Amino acid sequence: MRVRTIVGCWVMGLCSLVAQAQMSMGGTAAAPAAGTIAEPSKAIDSQLIGLEGEMMGVVKAMPADKFGFAPSAAIFVPSQTTQFATVRTFAQQATHVAAANYSFYASVSGLKPDVDMTTIAKLTAKDDVVRVLAGSFAFAHKAIATITAANAFEVVKSNEGFETKATLAQFGVSHGFDHYGQMVEYLRMNGLVPPASAK
């Protein structure tokens, strides 16, 4: 019995050390238990982390020479009458999300974007697009960190209509996933498997 207890303690201790090692190497913390009250910033940020991982994966997966790609009538059956003249290129999809992130999360937090917003839409090169998109997510994380239980439902000025800090922050995630879904199709139209589907 004593040996079994010692072995059990040893296994539990080893598991604890492994968990601590994983955390120190960038692993994620365990989710709060059901029924507990989470901090608004952490709850919303967990959603942004999910979007960021999916979208950055797609943007990095698209070859640099395909950043100017946009769906066109040429890739569909001739009988289709859908218009493609105003469809965004892959780069424009990504820069649109980057600009939106800066705009939404500046409204959420009052923080000033750390980039010249007028230059974002002009970016076309892969390295530049990846850099500005990553920067917009870093900015969004900082902004979300300013949301507290006391101010989460404070009304903010927004072009999206009636919004609070929490709802606009969550809308930023929803907006990003909308464009992520489109960008996934751009990859597939070019014979590429999106990273999330390749797992």
Mean of pLDDT over the chain: 85
Residue 13 has what pLDDT?
39
Distance in angstroms between the alpha carbons of the first and the last residue of the chain: 44
Q: How far apart are CA 194 and CA 199, in angstroms?
A: 9
Residue 80 has what pLDDT?
67
Average pLDDT of 172-189? 96
Cβ atoms within 10 Å of 85's Cβ, excluding its own = 7
pLDDT in tens, 17-27: 333 443 334 44
Average pLDDT of 110-124? 97
More confident residue, 3 or 110: 110
